[in-house]
Structure 1
Amino acid sequence: MSCLIALAFVPAACNRSSTETTPAAASTAPSPAAAAVAKAAAYTDQDISDAWIYLLGRLLVLRQQKADLAEGWKWNTMIHRKPGAVDWPNPNLDVAYSEAWVAVDENNCTLVTVPKVTGRYYTVQFLNGWGETVANINERTQAAHPSGEFAVCLQGANVKLPANTTRIDVPVKYMRVLARVELGDNWDEAVALQHKFSMRSTGAPTPPTLPAFPDFDVQHLPGVEAFESAPAVLDSEKDINAGMEGLEAKARAIAEGIRDPAERARVEKVVREKAQADLAKAGALIGHGTTKNGWVRPHAAGTYGDDWLGRTLVNLGGIWANRLDEVIYYKSSMDGDGVQLNGDHVYTLTFPKDALPPTFANYFWSVIAVDPIHARVLPNPKNRFLLNRESGLKYGDDGSLTLYFAAEKPADAPDSNWLPTPKGKDYRLTFRFYGPKGGVADGTYFPPPLVKRS
């Protein structure tokens, strides 16, 4: 069975057998409470599916945190990445990234230095352990003082701060940080600015102890073992969104129930056969998104409210997404006829003169091609990974813009308008509008359909 599920990022059929259990779990005698849970059928198959998908959203962030810390990251210290040198799904290749894990507490804040940036997009984004954006530092959120010294503090913290410091309160103690600086047409200038961003703690906050959780990757998502660690995982980071108590309770009840071997086998079967299928099905619309012209616009990104399904899908297919007022992401794996994009074919994407991409972005736009499983950009001989306003694009005599996607450059395509795609392989596209405006901002606009020429 194919593992390439359009826009789902969920190769469910590539997981381990539904009969697999760990030796420790198989030999553990059920507690009276576990037996009671199993006997009373306290949760339905749908409850198991919902709780597993919900919990996966947190596990995906923990997985990335564990990988980052294994690299030797130090808390409250910013790492400046070279342009393009990031390792997560759907990277934004229009910006230079700087990254950090931040810890604050009742007695310590993190001081962030932001240089003066003129005529270039930038933001310093803070996300919690569920992938929720809790703060952005930029000229839009801090109009009075968009640069200088900022103190990111836990709400209610009593910390004496340096003079002329802008305090920003956050609801959590531990955060992932992404600073983005637009590369534009002068990468050296952008990188010089990037290195002027910095951070330091006012003291020595205690970093978190990561809970135990199963090893997994996107092709081998965890089964019943996801629930073994559910209580510790849920205790390690409170979900800041209201209304999640029911899902948390289900996850904890299942964690207790699977101590009974028969119930463990049942939950494993439901996860493999239903939960992962539910996740894959939801992936087509990124949960509750909308679609037109073969493009999908997410219902939520960066902040999710009660859309826990969308949050898990975004964490799986494009972790660290920012808020929709910062950027809108459209995704497509289909041409205008609803057929999967494949590198054996030539596709065109034509924007009329009165609806060119810059019309809908205050800052910049771009389109990238990624593989449908890991969402990584696709290698090609030209080392060309996106098309954007810096690509030297050629416009038609009528002012329209046509972009080309093909393994080999079409004879009539300007080289600058062509994005190489992998011959014989499926792929998908991600279209970004930074600083969305007009129809992109209000949700009425979708990019034109991709037309298969050959």
Structure 2
Amino acid sequence: MNRLQSTVSLLLMCGLVSVGSPALAQQATDEEVSEAYIYLLGRLLITRQQQLDFQEGFKWNELIHRKPGAVDWPNPNLDVAYSEAWVAVDENSCTIVTVPEINDRYYTVQFLNGWGETLANINERLFPGRASGDFAVCLQGAKVELPGNMMRIDLPVPHARVLARVALGNDPERAVALQHDFKLRATGTPKLPEIPKTPIFDLDKLPGVEAFEAAAAALDGEPDLSVGLEKRQADARAIASAIKDNAQERSRVDGIIKQQAFAQIGKAGQTIGHGVIRNGWARPGVVGEYGLDYMARTLVNNGGIWANIKPEVLYYRGGKDESGGDLTGDHAYKMTFPKDALPSRFAKYFWSVIAVDNVHFRVLPNPLNRFLLNEQTHPEFGSDGSLTLYFATDKPADAPDGNWLPIPKGQKFRLTFRFYGPLDGVANGTYWPPALVKLN
């Protein structure tokens, strides 16, 4: 019997530990701690937002109609009017979603689970024979009597986040009127869950070991539907148990998070998980539904929460110029689309580009209160049919006003380019926007 076995036997004889005690469990490796943390953080980013929503005044199964531009999320979409809700259904109650008839613009009603995974969308693309009217959103297997002609959509979970989007287009007042015609109502009185009490942290100061202290609250009652990630969840729970009443292990885990997990998140953030960078633009490999790529899920939940799936929208993130330099308001930049590859070629519905800061991913204040470039800023085309967009503190002399997005002096930033209804190379993953050329 070696010294370790003798010590364990003595502890057992004295009753100081039991066979199932965390003190005798195999210690998680540094890699397991880091991976479990990144996995768990993706869920904590959702519970963080859920708590903020209900503190603001959200009520289950009630829509909040936002004024255009009045959402406080990372990487907001300023092309649409948003309506938001948290929906609860159970074995005896469905939620009826009323969708107005919309023929002249993009819209969708998106449902996501508590991990940021898209569960369903309601729009004319998915329901071409029934794009408007009442839809019954129900818990899978629920036996609820509904009118015979009502479209039923089953969810695999009893609680979901809802976002309705209506494109503003060139008639924002009409979009807002349509937005307010979306309705929710429960058919009964569903069981309402407790809102998980987990850390509400600033996005520029992610939690350390305290993330694992919230593991049970975050994971209980919200299944991760991604098959193959069971070990990550089991590791998160085991680490939570191991740090309880163990200052030494708590300190070790905290150190691993801050030295290893944060570094992994930073490195993976450049490519949005398992994405690809070309021309200084990162294209995510997965978005809206993530499979085994929990790193991408966590990164998107952090930098662009409530992302939809690729058939609805594809996002590119621009973080470098053509020479690999970081983007900053100390320089001016341009990007040029040739006549045969204009942004409109790659988007069935609309395209846009915004600039956000590198920490909170919020749009940048500027004297013009202009926060995006799109068709509604009326960009002008070159004599050869090309389109050049500019990003600079001061408008370059040869830049048409509608082609210029103001950037605060000295501000580090990144760009988000959206293609709604991806087409051609955006849809099949062969296209990247043109490189940003530094002008000064």
TM-score bracket, normalised by the shorter chain, equals: over 0.9
Q: 1:277-300: CA deviations, max 9, x gaps?
A: 111111111110011000000011
Please state how far the C-alpha of 1:232 moved relative to its aligned partner.
2.7
Who is 2:336 aligned against? Answer: 350
Residue type at the aligned position of 2:378: G
The structural deviation recorded for 1:233 is: 1.6
Trace 1:206-245 onto structure 2 (pairs within 5 A). 206-245=191-230
How far 1:114 sits from its partner (Å)?
0.3
1:128 is matched with: 113
**Shift of residue 215 of structure 1?**
3.0
Residue equivalent to 1:277: 263
Contact 2:51/2:197, CA 8 A, preserved across alignment: no
Structure 1 runs, 4 residues or longer, greater than 6 Å off: none
For the residues of structure 1 that align with 2:80 and 2:310, how far apart are their CA atoms? 17
* Counterpart selection for 2:317 from 325, 328, 331: 331
Residue of structure 2 equivalent to 1:318: 304
Alpha-carbon separation, structure 2, partners of 1:226 and 1:336: 38
1:180 aligns with 2:173: no
Deviations 1:419-451 (A, max 9, x none): 001101100000000000100000000000000
Q: Distance in 2 between matches of 1:189 and 1:148?
A: 19
SS, match of residue 236 in structure 1:
coil
Alignment of 1:32-431 (within 5 A): 32=17, 36-38=21-23, 40-259=25-244, 260-431=246-417
1:35 Cα deviation from its structure 2 partner: 9.2
The Cα offsets for residues 24-43 of structure 1, whole Å up to 9 and x where unpaired, read as xxxxxxx9469954555431
**Which has the larger displacement, 39-48 or 162-171?**
39-48
| Whole-Å separation in 1 of the counterparts to 2:403 and 2:278 | 23
Aligned equivalents of 1:40, 1:237: Cα separation in 2: 26
Letter in 2 for 1:97: Y
The answer to whether the 8 A contact 2:48-2:199 is kept is no
Deviation at 1:74, TM superposition (A): 1.2
TM-score (norm 1): 0.92
Aligned residue-pair number:
424
Instruction: Provide the C-alpha distance between the structure 1 equivalents of 2:121 and 2:378, rounded to a whole number of angstroms.
Output: 31
DSSP-derived class of the 2:170 partner: coil
Deviation at 1:337, TM superposition (A): 0.8
Residue 165 (structure 1) shift: 1.2
State whether residues 350 and 401 of structure 1, in contact with CA within 8 Å, keep that contact through their aligned partners in structure 2: yes
Q: Percent identity?
A: 62
In structure 1, what residue type is equivalent to 2:353?
A: V
Aligned-residue Cα RMSD (Å) equals 1.3
Q: Is the 8 A contact 2:51 2:196 kept in 1?
A: no
Partner residue of 2:418? 432
User: Aligned partners of 1:223, 1:356: CA distance in 2, in Å?
Assistant: 44
Gap regions ≥5 residues in structure 2: 1-15
C-alpha contact 2:17 2:23 (8 A) present in aligned 1: no
Compare 356-365 and 203-212 and name the one that shifted more. 203-212
SS in 2 for 1:247: helix
Give the SS at the match of 1:269.
helix
Greater mean alpha carbon deviation, residues 222-231 or residues 98-107: 222-231
Q: Which has the larger radius of gyration?
A: 2
Report if aligned partners of 1:34, 1:257 keep a CA contact under 8 Å in 2: no
**Could you tell me how far 1:152 is from its partner in structure 2?**
0.5
Distance in 2 (alpha carbons) for counterparts of 1:422 and 1:51: 38
Provide the rounded CA distance (Å) in 1 between the counterparts of 2:395 and 2:37: 44
Q: What SS is found at the alignment partner of 1:70?
A: helix
